[in-house]
Amino acid sequence: MTHAIGEAPGKVLLIGEHAVVYGHPAIAIPVRGVQARVEVELTRHGGMELLAPDLQGPEAKGDHADAIAPLLRLANSVLELFGEGSQGVRLVIQSTIPIGHGMGSGAAVSVAIVKGICAALGRTLTPDQVSELALEAEREFHGNPSGVDSAVVARNEPIYFVRGKPPQTIAVGSETFRFLIADTGIPSPTYKVVNDVKALRDREPARVDSYLWELGSMASVMREIIRGGSAQELGVCMNHSHGILRELGVSSSDLDRLVEAAVEKGGLGAKMTGAGRGGAMIALLGSATDEERLSAELRLAGAQEIYSTTLGGG
Ligand code: PMV
């Protein structure tokens, strides 16, 4: 086959952003309502071409401004891995995942490229091999990525992730967890916020390490809740983690406003998600929470876009 499609979902972090960079556990879940899609065409005459209107348009700032060259290098690495380095390739990338909003758009595009080229060559890789390749491109975007983004979008399942170790898929128990993700509409380059946390840790190691350790411990508690606990318990953990992320200085007034609105207007818990300072927050709905009403309240509190996703229930 010379023509194929590669796809990957968006993602959010349920717990452990920033802590995961320092070796603590995190939980990430796919957001399947948004996705990156890459059309791959192999050509015998060599050469590489990449068309990415969503990445190259006026929105393409921050982490994605120089995305094209790393993505071409990634495509070349996949071809070379299979001894097909002389093949030419044409990639057309489309993505509905907002760029720089903590929803894993860079990782999803990279994973979709790897999957699409594999499909075009008629070859397969394990999800861990796919995410390892995609991580090469992410290193060029972010500098020091933990790898959690590429791991969750390559698996398309909720994962418990510790840097440098194989991710573990989390089997959801009998509870269905319903979430709303509300985007502030403000892009925030991950590498800048990660660098700021590093600078704070250099200045105040004991305080920052105790926060990072607490976030990591909560990831283990939340994994058990997803396997067999209640949505109420998960909500408590989410609220607590938002407080810690505020102490780390990675929230913002826009994110705090959305988190407060979610909790006041019927959510069981809420927190910012991803690097912070902009991007999105995630709210957990109770069984009695009216999704449309809460979405309207979040829009009143400043949300520019709202996405929903669930864990479990089928
Ligand atoms: O790309 P974002 O905004 O979802 O941030 C990823 C989470 C961080 O822990 C802040 C960075 C990382 O590499 O894990």
Q: What is the pLDDT of residues 58-67, one digit of tens each?
A: 444 444 556 7
Q: In 3D, which of 230, 239, 248, 132 has the Cα closest to residue 177?
A: 230
- Does residue 152 share a domain with residue 34? yes
Other C-beta atoms closer than 10 Å to the C-beta of 37 total 18
Pocket test for ligand 1, best of 14, 20, 31, 63 (most atoms within 8 A of CB): 20
pLDDT tens for 291-308 read 999 999 999 999 999 999
Distance 144 CA to ligand 1 centre (A): 9
Instruction: Count structural domains, the chain.
Output: 2
How far apart (Å, rounded) are the C-alpha atoms in residues 25 and 17? 9
**CATH code for the domain of 18:** 3.30.230.10
Residue 130 has pLDDT above 80, yes or no: yes
Tell me, what CATH number does 292's domain have?
A: 3.30.70.890
d(CA 142, CA 191): 5
Whether 273 contacts 12, CB under 8 Å: yes
Cβ–Cβ < 8 Å for 278, 252: yes
Render 117-136 in DSSP notation, one character per residue: HHHHHT----HHHHHHHHHH
The Å distance, Cα 230 to ligand 1 centre, comes to 27
272 and 160, same domain (yes or no): no
- Classify residue 219 by burial, with Cβ atoms within 10 Å: 0-12, 13-18, 19+: buried
* Domain range enclosing 275: 177-311
Provide the β-strand partners of residue 266.
Answer: none
pLDDT at residue 1, as a whole number: 53
Which of 61-70, 72-81, 126-135, 240-249 is least confident? 61-70
Using the mean position of ligand 1's atoms as its centre, give its distance from the Cα of residue 121 in Å.
31
